[in-house]
Structure 1
Amino acid sequence: MLLPDAMTERLRAAWVIARRDFVAVVFSKSFIFFLLGPLFPLVIGFVAGSIGATVQRDLDRPVVGVALPAHEGDRLVMARDAMADKLGGLPEFVVLERLRADERFDARAVLRNGRIAAVVGGSLAAPILTGTRERVGELRGPLSLLAARAQAGGAETYPPVKVDLLATSAARERDGRVLTAQAGQVLLFLLTMLLAGMVLSNLVEEKANKIIEVLAASIPMDALFLGKLFAMLGVSLAGIAVWGTGYGVLVLAGAKSMPVLAAPAVGWPLFLTLGFLYFAMAYLLLGSIFLAIGGMANTVREVQTLSMPATMMQLVVFFLASFALARPGSWIETVSAVFPVSSPYTMLAHAARDTALWPHLVALIWQGLCVVLMIRFGARLFRRTVMKSGPARGRKAKKAITAPA
């Protein structure tokens, strides 16, 4: 365990490296081209949007609850199954309760507390459809057709469907929060993928011109790595601030803004705060991996070769987190939340869907611990590959001198 003086010295050295790298990058001409970088990942954004649409279709499967007298609900479900092939896009019908004569059923309570998108009550001769305006508009016609088919002997006329409109439902609110979670994951992925590569490029440049060897001989390697990571994180945040300001100016000038997303479960202020923290953690985790890759490589070509698996790993991590979003409460979500690199994406989606706050505290502590461990591992690996050249030649020379003639 480091003494307080030693810890202070390491932090001071890390601050010197961070300030040096931050100033060198921000006040360089290449930073202007870096700010133009988001123009290129737009294609990736479209691809991620198509993947998100697929996940959304998998999630948006409305379930219609049926609460009809006696076995009328069963006949309605059978009619739905018989007509499913002919009427594409029919939702799933589930019998909630078989009512007795004159028994009442609280459809609104079901919609507030479950995944049910709409409820069919009344009777087959006079069905009552309870749901939001959107769901009622989709289901009113098909329900009349199914009710006519389900009546004993088959009715020749379609019964009128009465409606009971709701402002919203638990299913609709859940779907809106899923869309917000999805948008947060895509934005976090795009920013991390775009910005984390700066750590590797900066390290490769200094390794090629031998500056890194001078720095490694002057300060502890873990302080050097920590300083470089936080310097590039600061540069990334500066870039995000510029992009955000530019987008705000375009919106004020009359450009079309993004669609309004449903409010996350934890509220927008806390969701944005968690988004900032999870971006920082995702960046530090991926940046520490890139630094370790730089430590294993001796040439620029080797760095480019080794960085390809890390880039592909980003895509795999994003796909894992997206798949976990469609499987809440499953072992896939648990694995995605525990695995350090995918944890920020999964936990940001969790903030959009669930109001619990303690999982985020645990996740941030776990991610921070993983950052520390990865930095120490990368520093040791880098020290062995960069600083071994002198001692290695010295040992060889010593063996050559002491070898018998």
Structure 2
Amino acid sequence: MSEVLRAAFVIARRDFSAVILSKTFILFLLGPLFPVVIGMAFGGLGEKITTEGLRPTVGISMSAADAARMEGAYRIIADRLGGEKLPRLQRAPAGDPRALLARPDARFLAVVSGTVERPVLTGKASDLAWLEGDISLIASAALAGERLPHVRVEKQPVTASAGADAQSRMLTGRAAQVLIFLLTMLLAGMVLSNLVEEKTNKIIEILAAAVPIDAVFLGKLMAMLAMSFVGICFWGSGVFAAILTFAGPNMTPPTPAVGWPLFLLLGTVYFTMAYTLLGSLFLGIGAQAATVREVQTLNMPVTMGQMVVFFFATYAVDHMGSPSEIAGAIFPFSSPFVMIARAAQDAAIWPHLLAIAWQALWVALIIRFGVTLFRRHVLKSGPARRRGLFRRRSAPAA
């Protein structure tokens, strides 16, 4: 066993150095930043389009005094509720509202005329049903004016709220689930294609001739896990710096039930378990592929299966102690996601010790299964050897 571990460390150091010292590793580290930047840019653009371009415009065809009262009431309500929740008001020329709406250059969805006491809204029936409540609210505030009573609200702050704490802890657990899932899928999926080039160049056969095949499998898994932690440290430092820059040092995030130090430690352990479970399975399955096309074919069903597992784990967040949550904690591939959510909501430590031991047992079983697949297929990459999973048998000779 010591010989296998020693050889595995040699393979891990070789693969880790080859990945870290390559020029493409910088692109790998910067890769997740591009979707974030593009998402922020398109999110801001979409919000601007929604708040500016999609808000209806209502023309005000009233006297100057009534129009000013409507605009003043609109500003007061917009300051409280947000302007994006109200239609835009724009003064329109005096005249028949029907004629104003029929003009080719009109950009009004509807026109409000009459007086503040008796407003008249003109437009299509569907638009009137949509805008009636907003115009009624604005006119009521304009009519009240200075007579609008101002009720002073007495504030009574408390140091803790059980409902608010429970909600924030549930959101923390859900965020930790999503983070571990995204990191696992982003990083574990790389091991599917890890062997294709080496099998094509027959490097894997040279390694297998020098060290036990089990050591090759474990070494590659350890190297990819170590590379994953390098990426996580880089991305985590960037996120932490962004939080300090934009949120400030006085920001107080919600505290998980087990506390932040233990929660981060459990998050690291559960990510390692999830990565090792999925990575060893990926490595064993990927050993059967001989081309990139076969890797892509294998990647789709595995990814879809993991998505189903993740959705099952997210459902269990809101149902702690239920049969679905217990089943999610027992099923090995969903257990890390369910247990990290439990760590955010429940302060008990013993379930995590039990879950980690259970997951470690399944890690050993999945690694053994992956080594079996690895040993069976990794050396059968030559044309003269037995065909793999995706090879058709040749027609018998006539």
Q: TM-score range by the shorter chain?
A: 0.5 to 0.7
Letter in 1 for 2:194: N
Provide TM-score, normalisation by structure 1: 0.62
SS at match of 2:328: helix
Q: CA deviation at 1:388?
A: 4.9
Go from structure 1 to structure 2 and tell me whether the alpha carbon gap of 1:389 and 1:255 turns closer, same or farther (over 3 Å shift).
Answer: closer
* Residues paired across the two proteins, number: 274
| Structure 2 gaps, min length 5 | 41-152, 387-398
Residues 346 and 43 (structure 1), Cα distance of their counterparts in 2 relative to 1, 3 Å cut: farther
Distance (Å, rounded) in 2 between the aligned partners of 1:34 and 1:279: 19
Task: Sort the Cα spacing of 1:260 and 1:209 in 2 relative to 1 into closer, same or farther, 3 A.
Answer: farther
- Distance in 2 between residues matched to 1:45 and 1:320, nearest whole Å: 26
Residue 317 of structure 1 is matched in structure 2 by 309
Write the letter of the residue equivalent to 1:223: A
Distance change >3 Å, CA 379–CA 283, structure 1 → 2: same
Q: Distance in 2 between matches of 1:359 and 1:261?
A: 25
Change in CA separation of 1:173 and 1:368 when aligned onto 2, cut-off 3 Å: same
Match of 1:31 among 25, 32, 45: 25
**Structure having the higher Rg:** 2
Structure 1, unmatched stretches of 5+, are: 1-6, 47-160, 395-405
Distance across 1 between alignment mates of 2:194 and 2:38: 24
> C-alpha distance in 1, partners of 2:31/2:15?
20
Contact 1:221 1:383 in 2 (8 A): yes
Which of 161, 181, 185 is 1:169 aligned to?
161
Paired AA for residue 218 in structure 1: A
- 2:342 matches 1:363: no
Deviations 1:132-189 (A, max 9, x none): xxxxxxxxxxxxxxxxxxxxxxxxxxxxx99976433322221121111111111111
Task: Give the structure 1 partner of residue 260 of structure 2.
Answer: 268
CA RMSD between the two structures: 2.9
Q: Which residue of 2 aligns with 1:245?
A: 237
Relative to structure 2, which stretch is displaced further, 170-179 or 197-206? 197-206
Which secondary structure does the structure 1 equivalent of 2:246 belong to? coil
Q: Is the 8 A contact 2:258 2:344 kept in 1?
A: yes
Distance 1:377 1:205 in 2: 23
Aligned partner of 1:327 in structure 2 is 319
Counterpart of 1:214 in structure 2 is 206
Equivalent in 339, 347, 351 of residue 343 of structure 2 = 351
Given the alignment, which residue of 299, 304, 311 partners 1:307? 299
The 1:237/1:370 distance shift into structure 2, 3 A limit, reads same
Please tell me whether the aligned partners of residues 176 and 261 of structure 1 are also in contact (alpha carbons under 8 angstroms): no
The 8 Å contact of residues 221 and 380 in structure 1, kept in 2 or not, is answered as no
Matched, 1:255 2:249: no
- Partner residue in 2 for 1:12: 6
- The worse-fitting range, judged by mean Cα deviation, of 35-44 and 271-280 is 35-44
The normalised TM-score by structure 2 is 0.63
* Residue 44 to residue 338, structure 1, CA distance change in 2 (3 Å): farther
With over 3 angstroms needed to count, the CA separation of the structure-2 counterparts of 1:211 and 1:350, relative to structure 1, is same
**Contact 2:173–2:345 at 8 Å: present in 1 too?**
yes
CA contact (8 A) 2:217 2:374 kept: no
> Aligned pair in 2 of structure 1 residues 217, 164: CA closer, same or farther (>3 Å)?
same
CA distance, structure 1, for counterparts of residue 13 and residue 242 of structure 2: 32
Q: CA deviation at 1:302?
A: 1.6
Q: Secondary structure at the match of 1:278?
A: helix
